[in-house]
């Protein structure tokens, strides 16, 4: 790949479709489009034109949009053709563009060119990727904050403030004998540095919690055999996804189902019944159940109402657990000390459980809604920046403290791509679809 190439791709959905959007970007975009479209406009505009082969045979008619660089998405000259979305029309246009020396775009190449031309930074690129793949309302809201540049501005403001702090310190070091540079000028920067360190610490916590919104809020269903776990899963998702029998140990592995609850993506995991067993396959299923519970945001502990509440070993002391008494229709007068009574036969308790899951997921959202939060990639760089700021605040040698501030600013720059990040670019852009 090279920026000297002019690239093209279908940027709309797969054909056939009502409309097909063909995007062209690169130094020869206007030249190539001029062969297909008579009277190609030279300014930012949209016109209705005939699309023809070079021998003037008509291919189709459609809207032509022209974006002279650098005022375009990629920062290059761009042309977009909105034509009828048949395979024949799209293939004919692609054939002409290939014959003119253009090449098909790689996955994410349009966005990669926008990054290289300074139209987007790396945080905005990741946010755009998350926006394209967003399936729930909360994923969309999280992605739009990141792709719109709000998170980038926060990282940039921190890095700028640290650069200013370094400048004041270095002024004291280099010009301490000058009358117009007071010897204690660096003292004024440390309050700002401490404030930035606190803000970065809060951002780390928010970013770690963002995984439950971006990926999924993980809910694991635990309990002994025949507690009604699989029946509950089927009732909650309103379809048969797990096999239900009266035979204890029917579920041997973790069964996962994603659900959209009030805009939150929730991943429900049905697990093997917890009991002592000599069956090696069942033992493995129980081990996987415990492992899933360790990584859960919420554990739903199901037991039949007439059994004493079970205390599971291996759960963290601060693990969020909701105790659910099952088969409520068979035990109408008993509560058993459970948080919620459940009956999959009558539907009792299902709405309460849904509301409880949404409430717990909302706690994580509240922690990040005011801050915005990037991907887990950001966490390691934020942690490094926080570590260097702590070193600067605790240090005694002024020149070493200034160096720690430089390293902190560099760590922040690696998040946005302002510092060398070539090793991660291929991974990030490969996640995009062709035509974006």
- What is the DSSP secondary-structure string of 241-302? -S---SSTT---S-EEEEEEETTEEEEEEE-PPP-----HHHHHHHHHHHHHHHT-SEEEEE
Condensed to tens digits (0 to 9), the pLDDT of residues 2-41 reads 568 999 999 998 899 999 999 999 999 999 999 999 888 8
Condensed to tens digits (0 to 9), the pLDDT of residues 71-91 reads 999 999 999 999 999 999 999
- Domain CATH for 249: 3.40.50.300
Q: Which two tokens stand for residue 20?
A: 């097909």
Same domain, 247 and 333: yes
Same domain, 344 and 237: yes
- β 321-326/340-341 pair status: parallel
Query: What does the pLDDT read at residue 313?
Result: 55
Task: Find, among 121, 2, 11, 5, the residue nearest to 65 by Cα.
Answer: 11
Same domain, 240 and 358: yes
Task: Find, among 94, 97, 101, 126, the residue nearest to 111 by Cα.
Answer: 126
Which residue segment(s) compose the domain that 38 sits in? 7-119
Reduced to 3 states (helix: H, G, I; strand: E, B; else coil), residue 1 is coil
Condensed to tens digits (0 to 9), the pLDDT of residues 244-267 reads 545 554 555 678 888 888 888 888
Q: How many domains does the chain have?
A: 3
Within a domain: 432: no
Same domain, 365 and 231: yes
Within a domain: 200: yes
Same domain, 380 and 412: yes
Task: Find, among 211, 206, 218, the residue nearest to 291 by Cα.
Answer: 218
Task: Find, among 248, 259, 253, 319, the residue nearest to 283 by Cα.
Answer: 253
Query: What does the pLDDT read at residue 436?
Result: 66
Task: Give the Cα-Cα-Cα angle 349, 300, 202 (nearest 5 degrees).
Answer: 115
Same domain, 359 and 272: yes
* Final residue belonging to a domain, choices 68, 87, 119: 119
- Provide the terminal-to-terminal Cα distance of the chain, rounded to the nearest Å: 15
Condensed to tens digits (0 to 9), the pLDDT of residues 370-404 reads 555 667 788 889 999 999 999 999 988 888 888 89
Asked if the model's pLDDT at residue 318 lies above 80, the reply is: no
Query: What does the pLDDT read at residue 85?
Result: 93
* Final residue belonging to a domain, choices 369, 387, 405: 369
Cα four-point dihedral sign 35, 37, 39, 44: negative
Same domain, 363 and 268: yes
């Amino acid at each position: 790949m090279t920026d000297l190439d002019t690239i093209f791709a279908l940027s709309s959905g797969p054909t056939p479709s009502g409309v097909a959007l063909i995007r062209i970007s690169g130094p020869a975009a206007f030249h190539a489009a001029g062969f297909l479209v008579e009277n190609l406009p030279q300014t930012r505009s949209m016109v209705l034109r005939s699309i023809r082969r070079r021998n003037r045979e008509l291919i189709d008619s459609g809207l032509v949009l022209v974006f002279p660089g650098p005022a375009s998405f990629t920062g290059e000259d761009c042309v977009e053709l909105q034509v009828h979305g048949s395979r024949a029309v799209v293939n004919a246009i692609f054939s002409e563009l290939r014959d003119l020396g253009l090449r098909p775009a790689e996955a994410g190449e349009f966005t990669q060119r926008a990054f290289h031309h300074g139209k987007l930074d790396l945080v905005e690129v990741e946010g755009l990727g998350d926006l394209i793949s967003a399936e729930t309302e909360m994923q969309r809201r999280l992605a739009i904050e990141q792709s719109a540049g709000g998170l980038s501005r926060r990282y940039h403001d921190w890095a700028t403030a640290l650069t200013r702090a370094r400048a004041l310190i270095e002024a004291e070091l280099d010009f301490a004998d000058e009358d117009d540079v007071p010897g204690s000028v660096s003292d004024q920067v440390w309050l700002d540095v401490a404030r930035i360190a606190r803000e970065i610490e809060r951002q780390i916590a928010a970013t770690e919690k963002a995984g439950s919104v971006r990926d999924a809020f993980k809910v694991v269903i635990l309990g002994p055999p025949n507690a009604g776990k699989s029946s509950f899963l089927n009732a909650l998702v309103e379809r048969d996804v797990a096999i239900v029998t009266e035979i204890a140990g029917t579920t041997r592995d973790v069964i996962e189902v994603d659900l959209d609850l009030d805009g939150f993506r929730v991943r429900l995991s049905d697990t093997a019944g917890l009991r002592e067993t000599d069956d090696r396959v069942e033992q493995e299923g129980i081990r996987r159940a415990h492992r899933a519970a360790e990584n859960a945001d919420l554990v739903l502990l199901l037991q039949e109402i007439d059994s004493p509440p079970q205390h599971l070993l291996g759960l963290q002391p601060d693990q969020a657990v909701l105790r659910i008494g099952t088969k409520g229709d068979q035990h109408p007068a008993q509560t058993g000390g459970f948080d919620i009574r459940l009956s999959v036969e009558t539907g009792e308790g299902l709405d309460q459980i849904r509301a409880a899951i949404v409430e717990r997921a909302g706690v994580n959202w509240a922690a990040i809604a005011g801050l915005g939060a990037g991907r887990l990639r950001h966490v390691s760089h934020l942690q490094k920046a926080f570590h260097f700021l702590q070193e600067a605040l605790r240090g005694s040698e002024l020149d070493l403290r200034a160096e720690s501030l430089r390293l902190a600013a560099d760590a922040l720059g690696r998040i946005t791509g302002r510092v060398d990040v070539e090793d991660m670019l291929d991974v990030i852009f490969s996640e995009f679809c062709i035509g974006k």
